[in-house]
Amino acid sequence: MKNKKLILIGDSLFAQIAYEYFTHDSEYEVVAFAVERQYIKQKSLFEVPITAFEDLEKEFSAQEHYFYCAIPYNQLNRLRTRLYLSAKEKGYKPASYISSRAFVWRNTKLGEHLFIFEDNTIQPFVEIKDNVVLWSGNHIGHHSKIGKHTFISSHVVISGNVDIGESCFFGVNSTIINNLKISDDTLVGAGALVTRDTKEGNMIKGTSGQVGSTTSWDYFELPNSRAREGA
């Protein structure tokens, strides 16, 4: 039964996917998409209206609606974070989607505004903080912690007792061995093997876990670590 009304922020491919999952595997009914006014290119999506994010309060009561910000890792998660925090400031309640086909152990600590796709395995004593995306098919090992605003793509292995900071990104098929500290704003490339702690802003690539010559801030053209929203 659909007993919660949901506004999806964004109209990109992720927003379209989020619409499918919330519609067919949750208690939420998607009643609108919201896009910042200057980026609106169409009036509706899936016969659901698209409204200006700036005008949400005029059209949809914050007391009666939830939101999910369906933005991927643009600007090293800064864009999703900014809109998530802004929607909260407007008084809307953050929604989470956790696939009915994900394995989440009973004592996992879950924050708010999460999107956890199918085939994720989340082992005992894991903590996942706010505004995290786990795309499909990941392994999150026991006692690991995932910091706010992080994006983990598909088929990533986070081994046991790994401490992941905020606003990180993990590419497909990357592997993090156990007992590591992954600092804020770390970008781990596709297929990379991480065997040592990282420093803030590191880019890690290759099976040797090589630290890139540029930082994650350079890659996303961000000024520095202080640019992280909500820090």
What's the CATH number where 112 sits? Answer: 2.160.10.10
Is 120 part of a structural domain of the chain?
yes
- The pLDDT of 13-34, averaged and rounded, is 98
Domain with 17, as residue range(s), is 4-94
Q: Which of 94, 123, 158 is the last residue of a domain?
A: 94
Provide the pLDDT for residue 208. Answer: 85
CA distances, 69 to each of 33, 81, 114, 129 (Å): 10, 8, 10, 16
Provide the pLDDT for residue 225. Answer: 57
Tokens coding 81:
């974070």
Note the pLDDT tens digit of each residue in 29-84: 999 999 999 999 999 999 999 999 999 999 999 999 999 999 999 999 999 999 99
What's the CATH number where 21 sits? Answer: 3.40.50.20
* Element containing residue 187 per DSSP (H, E): strand 187-188
Residue 195's CB is within 10 A of a number of other CB atoms, namely 13
Contact 191, 175 (CB under 8 A): no
- The pLDDT of 137-158, averaged and rounded, is 98
Q: How confident is the model at residue 125 (pLDDT cuts 50, 70, 90)?
A: very high
Is 216 part of a structural domain of the chain?
no
Task: Give 86-137 as a DSSP string.
Answer: HHHHTTPEEP-EE-TTSEE-TT-EE-SS-EE-TT-EE-TT-EE-SS-EE-TT
Is 196 part of a structural domain of the chain?
yes
Q: Is the pTM of this model over 0.75?
A: yes
Q: Do 45 and 62 have their domain in common?
A: yes
Count Cβ atoms within 10 A of the Cβ of residue 26 and give its class: 0-12 exposed, 13-18 middle, 19 or more buried.
buried
Q: Do 10 and 86 have their domain in common?
A: yes
Q: Do 105 and 87 have their domain in common?
A: no
Q: Do 168 and 129 have their domain in common?
A: yes
Provide the pLDDT for residue 231. Answer: 46
Contact 17, 154 (CB under 8 A): no
Number of structural domains in the chain: 2
Q: Which of these, 75, 69, 68, 70, lies nearest to 169 by C-alpha position? A: 75
Provide the pLDDT for residue 223. Answer: 84
Q: Do 121 and 64 have their domain in common?
A: no
* Element containing residue 59 per DSSP (H, E): helix 56-59
- Per DSSP, what are the bridge partners of residue 4? 28
pLDDT, the chain, mean: 95
Q: Do 53 and 125 have their domain in common?
A: no
Provide the pLDDT for residue 71. Answer: 98
Is 217 part of a structural domain of the chain?
no
Is 227 part of a structural domain of the chain?
no
- The pLDDT of 117-141, averaged and rounded, is 98
Name which residue leads in pLDDT, 197 or 3: 197
Note the pLDDT tens digit of each residue in 196-227: 999 999 999 998 889 999 999 999 999 865 44
Using DSSP's 3-state secondary structure scheme, residue 169 falls into: strand
